[in-house]
Amino acid sequence: MTDKTSVDLTGAPETMLATLYAKALDAGASDSVLHDHHAAEIVAQIDYDWANTGIKPANAPSVALRSKHFDTWAGQFLAVHPDAVVVHLGCGLDSRFFRLSPGPGVEWYDVDYPDVIALRERFYPQPEHHHLVAASVTDPAWLASITSDRPTLILGEGLTMYLTEADGVALLRRLVARFPSGELQFDAFNRLGIRSQWTNTVVRRSGSTLHWAINAPADILDAVPGTRLLAWVPVFESDAFSNLGGGYRVMAAVMNRVPGVRTMAQFHRYAF
Ligand SMILES: C[S@@+](CC[C@H](N)C(=O)[O-])C[C@H]1O[C@@H](n2cnc3c(N)ncnc32)[C@H](O)[C@@H]1O
């Protein structure tokens, strides 16, 4: 008999177990990037074959650094907009709300599929100003429940590649049209990243499929009226990556020399 929680997820929702596990492993490392003790505590409470995620101590830091990167960008937005709305798309079991601990002026919405939100309800407290939205991000209906009179941060980490281009563009257009001003922050894979998805253990083992290739900011600027580029950072060039250990630095230097590979994964930031 175990009192751990069983999870039965497949496809895109299952991938959030891989990112959770990566953050848990990172939290236990002496040179932790993210110090996400929430991830470690939740992993300990879930009955799951974590080896199946394909995440190991060697690749965990690359997941943690992506989260760290978006913590930094999100923190910058909240520092300027203490009255913001945050719409955290495809949140999984990520603890960003608790890591950033925004002030009482911020209304924060964590959005993911109902099965994932049910797990969030089990593992996290539900503080004031924090809201859960159990829906596909592509369903236009949930947007009506979000406060829409403030500067708004729309953040999707590890999400865009799971959407079709048509769904992703429609989602971004809907969001930009709904809120008065704000930022879009998300990561993306280019065409090579989508085509080589069979090499991505997390994707393969979850049985999910990647669809939307974003090759450069022009893909967003042309498709989503009202957006203005603030930053575009190939992941291997990000500060967070170069701050990691020697092995990662060597890998980044090699990756940066190969066209297509250099921009395989990128961080995007737009104002609207
Ligand atoms: C790779 S995980 C990333 C989770 C989290 N953002 C993190 O970084 O730990 C992808 C997440 O996107 C969610 N997702 C994918 N497509 C979605 C959709 N159409 N609607 C809502 N959530 C979606 C999955 O359920 C999953 O939680």
Q: From the first residue on, what is the mean pLDDT of each consecutive set of 10 residues in the chain (272 residues)?
A: 85 95 97 96 96 92 94 98 98 98 98 97 96 98 96 98 98 98 98 94 93 98 98 86 70 77 94 98
Q: Distance between CA 164 and CA 96 in Å, rounded? A: 25
* Ligand 1 atom 12 nearest Cα: 90
Question: Is there a domain that residue 151 lies in?
Answer: yes
Separation of 257 CA from ligand 1 center, angstroms? Answer: 30
pLDDT of residue 35: 97
Q: Distance between CA 77 and CA 75 in Å, rounded? A: 5
Question: Is there a domain that residue 67 lies in?
Answer: yes
Q: How far is CA 94 from CA 88, 184, 233, in A?
A: 10, 18, 22
pLDDT of residue 253: 76
Question: Is there a domain that residue 31 lies in?
Answer: no
Does the beta carbon of 159 sit less than 6 angstroms from any atom of ligand 1? yes
Phi, psi for 35 (deg, rounded to 5): 55, 45
Question: Is there a domain that residue 34 lies in?
Answer: no
What the block records as the tokens of 126 is 């539900």
pLDDT of residue 249: 74
pLDDT of residue 3: 86
Sign of CA dihedral 135, 70, 37, 21: positive
pLDDT of residue 220: 98
pLDDT of residue 260: 85
Does the beta carbon of 138 sit less than 6 angstroms from any atom of ligand 1? yes
pLDDT of residue 247: 72
Q: Distance between CA 255 and CA 263 in Å, rounded? A: 9
Question: Is 133 within 8 Å of 111 (Cβ atoms)?
Answer: yes
pLDDT of residue 2: 64
Question: Is there a domain that residue 175 lies in?
Answer: yes
Question: Is there a domain that residue 154 lies in?
Answer: yes
Does the beta carbon of 53 sit less than 6 angstroms from any atom of ligand 1? no
pLDDT of residue 242: 67
Separation of 149 CA from ligand 1 center, angstroms? Answer: 26
Domain around 170: 61-271
CATH of the domain at 173: 3.40.50.150
Using only the alpha carbons of the chain, give its radius of gyration. Answer: 18
Strands (E), the chain: 5-6, 46-47, 85-89, 107-112, 130-134, 151-156, 181-189, 228-234, 265-271
Q: How many domains does the chain have?
A: 1
Question: Is there a domain that residue 93 lies in?
Answer: yes
Q: Distance between CA 252 and CA 54 in Å, rounded? A: 21
pLDDT of residue 41: 97
Pick the atom of ligand 1 nearest to 23's CA: 9
State the first-to-last Cα distance of the chain, in angstroms, to the nearest integer.
52
